[in-house]
Amino acid sequence: MNPAPTESAAPGAELPWRGTLWYVLILVVALLLFWWVCERGERLSVGAGTSSAPLTKEVVDVPHHLLATMAVVIGLGFVLGRSLRWIGQPPVIGEVLAGIVLGPSLLGAIWPAGMDFLVPGRLTDPEGRVASAVQGVASLGLVLYMFLIGLELNGARLRRQVQSVVAISHSSIVLPFILGAILALWIYPLVSDPMVSFTGFAMFLGAAMSITAFPILARILTDRRLEKTELGEIALGCAAADDVTAWCLLALVVGVVRSQVASAAWTLVLTMAFIAVMFLIVKPNLARWIRRWEDRPGSLPVSVVSLTFVGLLVSALVTHSIGIHAVFGAFLLGAIVPSDSRLARDMNATLRDPVIFLLLPAFFASTGLRTELGLVSGWENILVTCAIVIVAIAGKFLGATLACRATGGSWGLSASLGVLMNTRGLMELIVLHIGLDLGIIGPKLFAMMVIMAIVTTLMTSPLLGIIVRSFPDEPAFRRDFAES
Amino acid sequence: MNPAPTESAAPGAELPWRGTLWYVLILVVALLLFWWVCERGERLSVGAGTSSAPLTKEVVDVPHHLLATMAVVIGLGFVLGRSLRWIGQPPVIGEVLAGIVLGPSLLGAIWPAGMDFLVPGRLTDPEGRVASAVQGVASLGLVLYMFLIGLELNGARLRRQVQSVVAISHSSIVLPFILGAILALWIYPLVSDPMVSFTGFAMFLGAAMSITAFPILARILTDRRLEKTELGEIALGCAAADDVTAWCLLALVVGVVRSQVASAAWTLVLTMAFIAVMFLIVKPNLARWIRRWEDRPGSLPVSVVSLTFVGLLVSALVTHSIGIHAVFGAFLLGAIVPSDSRLARDMNATLRDPVIFLLLPAFFASTGLRTELGLVSGWENILVTCAIVIVAIAGKFLGATLACRATGGSWGLSASLGVLMNTRGLMELIVLHIGLDLGIIGPKLFAMMVIMAIVTTLMTSPLLGIIVRSFPDEPAFRRDFAES
C-alpha cells in the first residue's frame, strides 16, 4: 500500500478551492450521467410476470391513523388535564376524558367523520387494522405501566406496617366487594349476558368496586404535600396492600370466570405455581443478578435493559397464557425487583415519561373508543349507574374509615383515609378492560363503570381538602412526621 | 364533627389483637354474606335482549401475539448480537438477523406453524390484525428513532467542517447514486413493476445505494475508541452531512415517484414550504421556549414532555400527509432542536433505551416478516444481488475515499473513511421499507437490497480494523486529536 503522503491536516483546511472545484465537477458530471441514464432507461420495457406490489394500495394506512390518533389524544389530554388542574384534579383525569371525548360518546355522536378519521370504523377499515394497532400500542403501554407500578411497590414499607395496614386495606376491599355482590342481585338480570354465571358476574363486580388507584393516590398526596405525614405513610401502605390484594382477587375472579367449570381449579393451580416460581426461584436469583450492577458507574448495560424487557414480556405472556391477564405478570415482575435497587430506579427514570406520556394515551384512546355513554340512557339505566356510583363510594369509604377507626385511628385520619382509598382512576379502567375483553361485562355496564371510575376519581382531591381543613389540629396531617 | 380522640399514634401499633380480631371477623362475615348472595343470585335469569359481548370471541388475540413476537425478537436479537460481538460486530446486526430468522426466510420455511404463532398469517388472522399491531408499534418506534437521530445531529460541528465534509459527503452520495442509476438500466426490466417509471426506479435505487448509517458508524467508532481522533471527527461530520443530504434526496425521490406527473411539483413545493416553516418559524420559537427550562433543577416538566411528543407526532403526520414519509418530519424536528440543549439531552436519556430496545425490535420483526430471501433464487437473481452488493460497496467506498484524497486527506484517512461510509445498517432498512410501502420496489428487490444492507454493515468493522493496523503511524488515528 501507498505510504501516507505529506498532507495529513484536516483535508480541505488549507486548500478550500480544491474542495469547491471537486464538488462542482462531481455535480455536473453526475447530472449529465443521470440524464443520459434516464434517456436510455425510459425506453426499457418491464418483463411480464415480474409484477410486484401494486403502486396504489387500497388497504388502510395504519401508521397514518395511529399517529394521528395518538397526537390528538395526547394533545387533548394535555389541554383537558391543564384545565382541570385549576380545580385541583390530577392530570390523568384529563387524559381519561380526552379518550372518551374522541370515542363514540362525544365525537362519534356529533361528528362521525372526525372519529372515523382518527380510528376508521367498519366502512373505511373493515378489517379493524387501525383499531388493532391502537390496541397493540395500548397493551404494550399497559404492560409497561403495570411493571412500573410493581417497581414502585415498597416491600419494606409494607412489612413495617403490616398489621394495621393489612387490616384496613382488606376491610376496605371486603366491604365494597360484598356490597358490589349484593348490588349484582339487582343489576345482573338487567345488564348481564346469559353466558356469564351469576357467581362470576358478582365476583367481578365486587372486585371492580374494591380497586384503589395507587399512583393517583400518591399523586394527590404529593400535590397537597401530605406524602410525608402519618396519613401519607398509612395511605400509601394501604394502597399498596390494596393493589396486591385486589390484583390477586381479580386474578382469581378471572380464573374462575374464564375457565368455566373444571379448569378453574387448573387456572388457580397454575397461577399459584407461577407466583411461587416468581417469589421462590426468580426473586433470589434476580436480586443476586441485580446486585452486580448496583455500584457500577455509568448507565445500565445494554444487556440488562434488553433482558429486563424480555423478562417483562415473557412474564406478561405467561400470565396471559394461564388465562389471567398479561398485566398480572408484568406487575408481579415489577414487585419482585427490590424497589430500592438501581435497576428499579433506572428503569423507572427511563420508562416513566415514554410510557405515561406516549404509550398510555393509546390505552385511553382505546378505552374511549369502547366507551359508549349513549348506552346509559333511560331512567332505569341512569338509576343503575347512580346505584353503582353510590355503592362504590359507600363501600370503599366506609370500609376504610371504619377499619381505621376500629384499629385505633382518629376520626380525622380515618375519614381522610376513606376519601383517599376511594380514588379509582386508571386502575379501574384497566380492570374494566379486562372484564370487557373477557366478555364478563358488556359495553353498557362498561360505560356505567367508567362513569363510576371518573366520579370517584374527581371527588377525591376536593373532599380531601375539606377534611384536612376541618381537622386543623389533627397530628396525622403534620408534615414533620417522617423526621420524628 | 367528632373531635379527634386520644388514640393518635399509628393505628394498631399498641393494640395488635384488635386489628387481628377485626380482620378475622370481617372475613368470616364477608364469606357468609357472599355465599348467601350467590345462593340467591344463581336462581336469577337474565332478560333476553340485553346480551352483550360474547364470552368466547373468535377474533385473534392481538396483545398475545404482539407481546410474544416482541419477546422473541428482542431475546433472539440479544443472543445473536452477543454472539456476533465476539467477531467485532455492532449489536444492531443481531437484531436485523433476528427479524429475518423469524420471518418467511427461515422460520417460515422450516417451521411454518412457529411463524404463524408469532404473527398469524392468512389462515388464523385473515384480517391481518396482528401484523397491523406490529406495524403500528414499528412505525411509532421508527418515528421516535428518527427523532433521536435528528437530536444527535450536531449543527455546530457540521458548520465547522462544512467545506471538506460536504465535498466528501456529497461525492460519497453522488457516485453510488450514479452507479445505482446505471445498474437500474440492467435490473429495471428484471425486477420492476410496469407501474413504476424508470426514472423513479433509478432515482430510488440510487438513493438507496447512497445511504450511510450514522448511528452504526458512531457505534463502530466508539467500540474501537476512535471517536475522538481526526478520523472520528471527519467521519461523524460526513455521516451527519450524508444523513441530511440522503434524506432530502429521498424525500425528493419519493415525492417524484408517488405523485405521478403534475402533483410531483406540488409535493416538492409543500415539502420546501414545510422545511422553510420548520427552520424559519418553528426553530427560533422552539429555541426560545427550550431556553426557559435550561437551568431549572429537577426533571423536565410534564408539559414539556407531552408537548414534545405532540409536536413530534404532528411533524411526522405533516410529512406523511404531504406524501413523503412520516420519518422525515420526525427527523427534521429532532434536527432543529439544538443538540446541546437540555431538552435534547433529557429526551435522549429517557427515550433511548425504550425506543432502541423495546419499540425498534418491532420494526426488525416487521422487516423480517417482509423479507423473503427465498425469492432470491436462480442464477439470474443471485447475479443481480451480487451486482447490487458490488455496486453499493464500490460506489460508497470509492466516492468517499477519492473525495477525501482529492481534498487533501492521507491514504490511511481516506481508505478508513471510505470503509466507514459504506456501513448502511438500520438506515438502509428504513429506506427500503419506504420503497416497499410506496410500491416503488417489490418483495424480490427488497430481499436483494436487505442482503446488501447486511453485507455492507457486516464488513465495516473488520475492514476498519485491518486498515487501522496497516497504517500504524497515521496521525488521523491518534487518540489525542481532540485535546490538541
Contacts of B259 (CB under 8 A, 6+ apart): B266, B267, B323
- As a whole number of angstroms, the distance between CA A184 and CA A203 comes to 9
Whole-number pLDDT of residue A56: 42
Cell representation of residue A437: 375483553
In chain A, the residue whose alpha carbon lies closest to the alpha carbon of B446 is: A52
Which band of pLDDT confidence, cut at 50, 70 and 90, is reported for residue B312? very high
Cell representation of residue B330: 420526525
Q: Which of A140, A293, A308, A416 to mutate to test the interface with B (most CBs of B within 10 A)?
A: A140
Contacts of A363 (CB under 8 A, 6+ apart): A138, A139, A141, A142, A145, A429
Q: Which of A463, A440, A172 is nearest to A449 (CA)?
A: A440
Whole-number pLDDT of residue A57: 45
Which band of pLDDT confidence, cut at 50, 70 and 90, is reported for residue B407? confident
Contacts of B227 (CB under 8 A, 6+ apart): B218, B221, B236
Chain B: closest CA distance from residue A210 (Å): 13
- As a whole number of angstroms, the distance between CA A104 and CA A78 comes to 20
Give per-residue pLDDT as tens, B139-192: 899 899 889 888 877 666 666 666 677 778 888 888 899 999 999 888 888 887
Whole-number pLDDT of residue B19: 63
The percentage of chain A sitting over the pLDDT mark of 90, rounded to a whole number, equals 14
Q: Cβ–Cβ of B163/A16 closer than 8 Å?
A: yes
Does any CB of chain B come closer than 8 Å to the CB of residue A47? yes
Any idea what DSSP says for residue B357?
I
Structural domain boundaries, residue A271: 161-290+303-348+374-477
Of the listed ranges A288-292, B259-263, B440-444, the least confidently predicted one is: B259-263
Average pLDDT for B352-380: 87
By Cβ distance, the residue of B18, B168, B182 closest to A37 is B182
Whole-number pLDDT of residue B2: 42
Checking if the pLDDT of A66 tops 80, the result is: yes
Does any CB of chain A come closer than 8 Å to the CB of residue B326? yes
Q: Which of A46, A210, A231, A438 to mutate to test the interface with B (most CBs of B within 10 A)?
A: A46
Q: Higher pLDDT residue, A49 or A33?
A: A33
Give per-residue pLDDT as tens, A234-257: 888 888 778 777 777 877 777 777
Average pLDDT for B49-76: 71
- As a whole number of angstroms, the distance between CA A184 and CA A229 comes to 38
Whole-number pLDDT of residue A267: 74
Checking if the pLDDT of A65 tops 80, the result is: yes
Chain A: closest CA distance from residue B313 (Å): 6
Average pLDDT for B110-135: 77
Checking if the pLDDT of A312 tops 90, the result is: yes
The answer to whether the beta carbons of residues B347 and B308 sit under 8 Å apart is yes
The answer to whether the beta carbons of residues B26 and A398 sit under 8 Å apart is no
Q: What angle do CA A331, A336, A342 make, to 5 degrees?
A: 105
Q: What is the mean pLDDT of chain A?
A: 81
Q: Higher pLDDT residue, B218 or A162?
A: B218
Q: Which of B40, B127, B310 to mutate to test the interface with A (most CBs of A within 10 A)?
A: B310
| Domain annotation covers residue A281 | yes
Does any CB of chain B come closer than 8 Å to the CB of residue A114? no
Whole-number pLDDT of residue A46: 67
Q: Higher pLDDT residue, B47 or B237?
A: B237
The answer to whether the beta carbons of residues A319 and A334 sit under 8 Å apart is no
Whole-number pLDDT of residue B428: 87
Give per-residue pLDDT as tens, B341-361: 888 888 888 888 899 889 988
| Domain annotation covers residue A145 | no
Cell representation of residue A319: 400470565
The answer to whether the beta carbons of residues B192 and A50 sit under 8 Å apart is yes
By Cβ distance, the residue of A139, A195, A314 closest to B55 is A195
Which band of pLDDT confidence, cut at 50, 70 and 90, is reported for residue A389? very high
In chain B, residues 166-205 whose CB comes closer than 8 Å to chain A: 166-168, 170-171, 174-175, 177-178, 181-182, 184-185, 188-199, 201-202
Does any CB of chain B come closer than 8 Å to the CB of residue A14? yes
Cell representation of residue A84: 382541570
Does any CB of chain A come closer than 8 Å to the CB of residue B234? yes
Q: Higher pLDDT residue, A114 or B398?
A: B398
Using an 8 Å CB-CB cutoff, list chain B residues near A170. 23, 26-27
Cell representation of residue B461: 468493522
Cell representation of residue B372: 423473503
Please give the backbone phi and psi of residue B482, each rounded to the nearest 5 degrees, phi first: -65, -35
Q: Cβ–Cβ of B135/A63 closer than 8 Å?
A: yes
| Domain annotation covers residue B26 | no
Which band of pLDDT confidence, cut at 50, 70 and 90, is reported for residue A48? very low
By Cβ distance, the residue of B54, B310, B476 closest to A439 is B54
- As a whole number of angstroms, the distance between CA B112 and CA B183 comes to 35
Checking if the pLDDT of B278 tops 70, the result is: yes
Whole-number pLDDT of residue B48: 45
The answer to whether the beta carbons of residues B176 and A28 sit under 8 Å apart is no
Q: What is the mean pLDDT of chain B?
A: 81
Which band of pLDDT confidence, cut at 50, 70 and 90, is reported for residue A161? low
Does any CB of chain B come closer than 8 Å to the CB of residue A469? no
| Domain annotation covers residue B336 | yes
Q: Higher pLDDT residue, A156 or B198?
A: B198
Whole-number pLDDT of residue B395: 92
Whole-number pLDDT of residue A266: 75
| Domain annotation covers residue B38 | no
- As a whole number of angstroms, the distance between CA B135 and CA B128 comes to 10
Q: Which of B82, B84, B132 to mutate to test the interface with A (most CBs of A within 10 A)?
A: B132
- As a whole number of angstroms, the distance between CA B414 and CA B397 comes to 9
Which band of pLDDT confidence, cut at 50, 70 and 90, is reported for residue A321? confident
Checking if the pLDDT of A58 tops 60, the result is: no
Give per-residue pLDDT as tens, B1-53: 344 443 344 444 445 566 677 778 878 888 888 888 888 888 777 654 444 44
Number of structural domains (chain B) is: 1
| Domain annotation covers residue B457 | yes
Q: Cβ–Cβ of B64/A320 closer than 8 Å?
A: yes
| Domain annotation covers residue B52 | no
Using an 8 Å CB-CB cutoff, list chain A residues near B300. 353
Cell representation of residue A388: 353503582
Checking if the pLDDT of B384 tops 80, the result is: yes
| Domain annotation covers residue B110 | yes
Q: Please report, for the domain that includes residue B416, its CATH number.
A: 1.20.1530.20
- As a whole number of angstroms, the distance between CA A163 and CA A99 comes to 40
Any idea what DSSP says for residue A295?
S
Which band of pLDDT confidence, cut at 50, 70 and 90, is reported for residue A9? very low
